[in-house]
Amino acid sequence: MHEMGIAMSLYRTCRKEVDKQGSGRLQKIRVAVGELSAIDPELLRFAWEATIQDPDAGCELEIDWKPAIQRCPKCEEIKPRGDQSWLMICPECGSPLRVEGGYELDLLEITFESESEDGETPA
C-alpha cells in the first residue's frame, strides 16, 4: 500500500511548513489526486488517519478528485467517456485522442492553528 508512504510524506511536508511559521496544529490539508495517479482516495484517507500524530490528531484530509479527459487534437473537443472506458480514436474525425490530466498528486492547501506566545493553542 504505497498510500502509507504518500501520507507520511504529506504529513512531514505539512509539519515542516507549520514549523516554519513558528509552531501550531494542523487542522486540514487539501490535496488533488488524479484518476491515473494509481492512488486510492479511501486508502489515502485511511493511511492519513494512521499517520498523523499529536498535536495534529484530528487533522482533516480533503481530496479533490481530478478525472482524466480525452481530447481530440484535430476537433479540439473533449470527448466523453464512460466509467473506466477509453476511446482510442475520435468518433467524429478518426484522429487519435490524447489523454490530458489525471496524473495529479498536488498539495493544494494547508490550514493550521498557530500557538500563542504563551505556548497555548487558541481555542
Q: How many domains does the chain have?
A: 1
Sheet holding 24-34: strands in order across?
Answer: 60-66, 24-34, 105-114
pTM, rounded to two decimals: 0.81
81 touches 35 (CB < 8 A): no
Q: For residue 61, is it within any domain?
A: yes
Q: pLDDT grade, residue 86 (50/70/90)?
A: confident
29 touches 59 (CB < 8 A): yes
Give the closest residue to 39 by CA, choosing from 48, 27, 26.
48
Higher pLDDT, 87 or 108: 108
Question: Which pairing describes strands 69-71 and 60-66: parallel, antiparallel, or unpaired?
Answer: unpaired
Q: For residue 78, is it within any domain?
A: no
Assess whether pLDDT exceeds 60 at residue 4. Answer: yes
Q: For residue 23, is it within any domain?
A: yes
Q: For residue 19, is it within any domain?
A: yes
Q: For residue 25, is it within any domain?
A: yes
Segment (H or E) for 32: strand 24-34
Range of the domain at 34: 2-67+102-114
pLDDT in the model for residue 119: 45
CATH for 36: 3.30.2320.50
pLDDT by residue (tens digit) across 12-38? 999 999 999 888 999 999 999 999 999
**CA geometry: angle at 113 spanning 107 and 118, to 5°?**
145
pLDDT in the model for residue 79: 86
Q: For residue 121, is it within any domain?
A: no
Q: For residue 93, is it within any domain?
A: no
